[in-house]
Chains A and B, each alone.
Chain A
Amino acid sequence: MIKLERVTKRYGNVIAVDDLSLEISDSCTCVLIGPSGCGKTTTLRLINRLADPDSGTVLVRGVDTRKLKPEDLRRSIGYAIQSVGLFPHLTVGANIGVVPSLLHWDKMRIKNRIEELLQLVGLPSNIYANKYPNELSGGEAQRVGVARALAADPPILLMDEPFGAVDPLTREKLQTEFLHIQRQLKKTIVLVTHDLDEAIRLADRIGVMKAGRIIQFDTPEAILSRPADDFVRGFVGTDRALKRLSRMIVKDFIKPVSSLRVGQAISEVRAAIGKQPSVWVTDEGGQPLGWLDREDAQHGKSIENSMVKINLSEIALNENSTLRVALSRMLGQGFRGLPVVDSAGRLIGEITLSDVEAATAQRES
């Protein structure tokens, strides 16, 4: 969908983008990452013709962008600029409505779209639509910037550090939301970030840039396990193994477990345990309550008396958590295995330290 062929862009003596080639396929999230001044923003601006290349070609949907009218090209590409750049004289709603109004949407449609988008970025429209940008926090402004880029539902999105100014918690939430939205909307996205964890989490492809060139363009897994050179290795850092875990989802590694229900007769229980050292115990609804050791089961009178109770929220893992969370939970709680629950809180399996180890080893090769 987006293709840069041997593109070079100079500003005076500075070579901002140097003989760069890049191909981003449809519905793909490509994240550009690299040190300050390496040409990330310039690369984005080459795509929507805010900058014209000195040499090379930029193709969008197979068409050389030089053949398109810049205004038309840009209206079909959402752009969230690095400095947010909300218009101070327009309300939040009017800011979001700019591109739709340039496209001559009717008023009602624009109004509905504004509400929808504010909802999407987590800013209730009854509170925020009529505020002015100077009444927003940095993070709120950034979210409005993202909503504005999405306004006309463009097939391509260019986002320059869209979550740069929000706190880690909100950022985490917005990233989750981003992934969720992207699964539905399937846009072609080029996103710039300084945050490697963000890149690993969001990207289908990561482009690591240095001095106007792309050093490595690959899947997050490949970037982590096979850094192309010392620069990428240094950039990825020594905790690559841990970072890789944040792309793996617990759901893919769980093993089914047998479990007991409170209220089952103790004789039944002994048979069920068999040779296992311990078994998870759930309530009638399937929510884990604790575990029962084999020895205690041999002497105990009932499950309730013999089991070890657990604090559900501290121990149980959600099936959508990352392996990184699982590992840190295991280390923090001193457990070799943790129960995994679905979104309703029902026990669906177990994940153990050796599973995590195996996952690491398997991708390392």
Chain B
Amino acid sequence: MQVLKKRFAPKNRPPFDRVTFFASTVGLLAFLGDWFTVRPNRLAPGAGMELVEAAGPLVFAVLLILWHSGLIFSFNYYRRGFARAFVIMSVLLPSIILFLVGGVAQSLAVQAGESGRVSVGVGLWVALAAAFLLASVVIPKYSPGAGFRSLAWLTLVVLPVILVASGWLSDFSVLQEIAAQGSRFRQEALNHVRLTGIAVLLGTIIGIPFGIWAFRSQRANGAIFFVANITQTVPSLALFGLLIAPLSALSFAFPVLRDFGIRGIGATPALIALTIYSLLPIIRNTFVSLDGIDPAMIDAGRGMGMSRTQIFRRIQAPLAAPLVMEGVRISAVQAVGNTAVAALIGAGGLGFFIFQGLGQAAADLILAGAIPIILLALLVDTFMRLMVAAVKPHGARL
């Protein structure tokens, strides 16, 4: 009776922390699936292995206990002292999982032999996703201070990176595929970042003036948004395709253009298409941000004797900046994904591995392209959110 009573939360508090509970449950469900797939060679179908049979009872028990701690915490989240310990646990959990399965993969690889492959099974994917989800929920909610929180985020990201870089996980087939690509991988990753970055930069340089124009001129507004909206509805693949014909015609008509890299396929059409795609969010946000400024601000500025340029520089630009930056963020995240498709017209980028993998029916090669793209998108998103916060004027923060 006594024990039971203790487990109920005090009055006015929800009985348990729902998100923690959810993430922990998903983490536990992961134990039902296969954690590893072992294949005799790179392309052959493989056999699934559950965690117990692959890793033995000890590793199994450790992970099971750690996941249960999440369940226990979700019912005791309000207790002093629990929070700090649990934040630490949830920050370390992804790395603990990676460390343990890395060890398992190494022994499985030895058993599988020279050409055998060990890859990540559904259960392990789910477990990793749940672990990162748990940490990303728990860190902002339960960290005892700002410094602690920053350190927690840093640890969450850096430890897995170290594990990957150290080679501890290199027996997983995805990493083997990457390693097999050698410098090609680094080159395409760089290519990807470059294509995305240039496209978003061009999109920003072109989009902001168009947004301002749309705000200033009623007539331009209709035309600009009509065109910008159309570009967004054309599937990216179709747009890439559409650009091939006119550009190759152009380069045949004026061969000198080819010296500047202007051809039907390659980086030029990709950049053009990617830039066009990144325009709409930036134009739209620029327009909305300017349009949303209280007309009394402009009136006050005019009444004080500011010129049009002064009103723009001193009032409109600083007030519009956060929303414009938000548009750039949306464009950038979107561009990371769109650039993957650009590989189809020979522009390179991480999409190259995806399409190559599709061609060879090599699932690991597809992942070798897809996972870095996802990570890059997350990275860009985080960085751009910081930028948005940085340009937010102090008075608008409360």
Contact = CB atoms under 8 A, between A and B. Distances in A.
Nearest to B392: A89
A18 B310 CA distance: 33
B393 A79 contact: no
B227 interface: no
Interface string A73-113: 11110010101111111110000001100100000000000
Given A88-B319, A88-B395, A89-B393, A99 B297 contact: no
Nearest to B393: A89
A195 to B, nearest CB: 22
A89 B303 contact: no
B307 to A, nearest CB: 5
Contact of B306 (A81, A89, A102): A102
Contacts of B314: 87, 98
Contact of A102 (B310, B319, B393): B310
Interface string B308-350: 0010001100110000000000000000000000000000000
A73 B395 CA distance: 30
Contact of A88 (B302, B304, B396): B396
Nearest to B304: A99
A118 B380 CA distance: 45
Contacts of B79: none
A167 interface: no
A84 B303 CA distance: 12
A128 interface: no
Contacts of B297: 85, 87-88
Contact of A85 (B294, B305, B395, B396): B294
Contact of A50 (B302, B395, B396): B302
A135 B395 CA distance: 9
B307 A71 contact: yes
A8 interface: no
Nearest to A44: B303
B162 to A, nearest CB: 42
B296 interface: yes
Contacts of A72: 305
Interface string B367-398: 00000000000000000000000000111101
Given A132-B395, A134-B395, A85 B299 contact: yes
Contacts of B318: 89
A75 B296 contact: no
B300 interface: yes
A83 B294 CA distance: 10
A50 B305 contact: no
A74 B299 contact: no
A127 to B, nearest CB: 17
B314 to A, nearest CB: 8
Contact of B394 (A79, A81, A89, A148): A89
Nearest to B310: A102
A48 interface: yes
Given A74-B302, A74-B304, A132-B394, A89 B319 contact: yes
A86 B398 CA distance: 16
B296 A81 contact: yes
A85 B394 contact: no
Given A85-B299, A87-B297, A88-B395, A75 B319 contact: no
Contacts of A133: 395
B257 to A, nearest CB: 46
Residue of B304, B318, B394 with highest tally of chain A CB at under 10 A: B304
Contacts of B395: 87-91, 132-134
A71 B306 contact: yes
B305 A89 contact: no
Interface of A: 48, 50, 70-76, 79, 81, 83-91, 98-99, 102, 132-135, 148
19 contacts: A50-B299, A50-B303, A70-B305, A74-B304, A74-B305, A81-B299, A81-B303, A85-B296, A85-B299, A86-B300, A87-B301, A89-B319, A98-B306, A98-B314, A99-B304, A102-B310, A134-B396, A134-B398, A135-B398
Given A88-B396, A89-B395, 5 more contacts: A50-B299, A73-B305, A85-B299, A89-B318, A102-B305
